Amino acid sequence: MVGKKVAIIVPYFGEFPKHFPLWLKSCEKNNEFNWIVFTDDNREYDYPVNVNRILISFAEMRQYIEKKLGFEVALTRPYKFCDIRPFYGVIFQDYLQEYTHWGYCDVDLLFGCLRDFITEEMLEEYDKISVLGHLSILKNECSVNEAFRKCDYRAILQDQRSKIFDEVRFEPNINSLLRQNGCKLKTTIPYADIDAQHYSFGLYQYKEGNRAWPLPRKPLVFEYNNGHVFGWEVDKAVIHKKEYAYVHFQKRNILVTTNSSERYILVPNEIKDHETPTVEMVEKYSKDSVAYTIQNMWKRVKNAWRVRFMR
């Protein structure tokens, strides 16, 4: 992207998931974007030139953040980074000097061809692209980087409970503060956000003024093909193909059985050798699991307790 440089910041502590080499490969295909990964996982992966790994312990990262912000933060578990993400423009400014934009993302996803969905024109027009935490891109400008100062940000970062400050579920959040600052936001791009409540794939979609809501469930699998992500969905015995900027498979333990990093399919809950998607194939991989449903219901009960008492 001529004239635009984007750095996406990813703190990750603990062992990377099994699909991490494929995540790295999907980053490599997007050589117009750069990633800076702060981690304590020192295992040797094939990091591409546009992914800069910085080894750092969790304790050292907390100390670094506190030094940059000038006060103690309640960073006792990695999930708290969801509240810290909107501060990255200030915290990591030393790493962002050469970049016009910065962002944050998850690693439980695979990128497609980002330049087809996040264009130079969009980067010029909008101050923030996407209001969700799995991928957001922001301008590296003071009015954006300092927007968090319009609220009691110390209270947010000194509360051990998650305030989900990087998204839209609770107030205040970085998106509403940016709008108060007169910033222009593009709320969403075409992404595939997989519903974690069911074994078979279904999608969430962000709706303006609220959080994501589930779409009508249909048989669905995904294909990664040489830097592009496609969803294959069956509707009334007809198969439909749609390209996405990325697929986000949150809260899933994905088994990797393919040896290819160029072409494969994603089914519940496996990345496997490529098959040509057909109606029969998609329907075969779109059956629900009773055991998964029961297990997930238990997880939802525990999560509801955590949100109520630890948020």
Long-range own/partner contacts, residues 203-212 (CB < 8 A, 24 or more apart): 203/231, 206/131, 206/132, 206/168, 210/168, 211/167, 211/168, 211/169, 212/132
Q: 53: which 2 tokens?
A: 């790994």
Regarding whether 168 and 60 lie in a shared domain, the answer is yes
Q: What is the pTM of this model?
A: 0.93
Model confidence at 149: pLDDT above 80: yes
How confident is the model at residue 311, as a pLDDT?
47
Could you report the per-residue pLDDT of 271-294, keeping only the tens digit for each? Answer: 999 999 999 999 999 998 777 766
Residues 90 and 178 in one domain: yes
Predicted confidence (pLDDT) at residue 162 exceeds the cutoff of 60 = yes
One-letter amino acid at 113 equals C
Handedness of CA 191, 192, 196, 197 (dihedral sign): positive
Both 24 and 102 in one domain: the answer is yes
pLDDT at 297: 65
| 29 and 139, same domain (yes or no) | yes
Per-residue confidence band for 210, with pLDDT thresholds at 50, 70 and 90: low
13 and 142 fall within a common domain: yes
Report the number of distinct structural domains present in the chain. 2
Same-domain status, 169 and 203: no
Indicate the SS3 state at residue 195. Answer: coil
- The band of 213, judged by pLDDT with boundaries at 50, 70 and 90, is confident
CATH of the domain at 52: 3.90.550
Helices (H), the chain: 20-28, 58-69, 81-84, 88-91, 120-125, 142-145, 153-157, 174-180, 279-284, 290-310
Q: Is 299 a member of any domain? A: no
pLDDT at 305: 62
Half-sphere exposure of 68 (CA within 13 A, CB side): 16
Residue 34 — very low, low, confident or very high, per pLDDT cuts 50/70/90?
A: very high
* Structural domain that includes position 247: 192-291
- Please check whether residues 124 and 208 belong to one and the same domain: no
Say yes or no: 133 and 233 in one domain: no
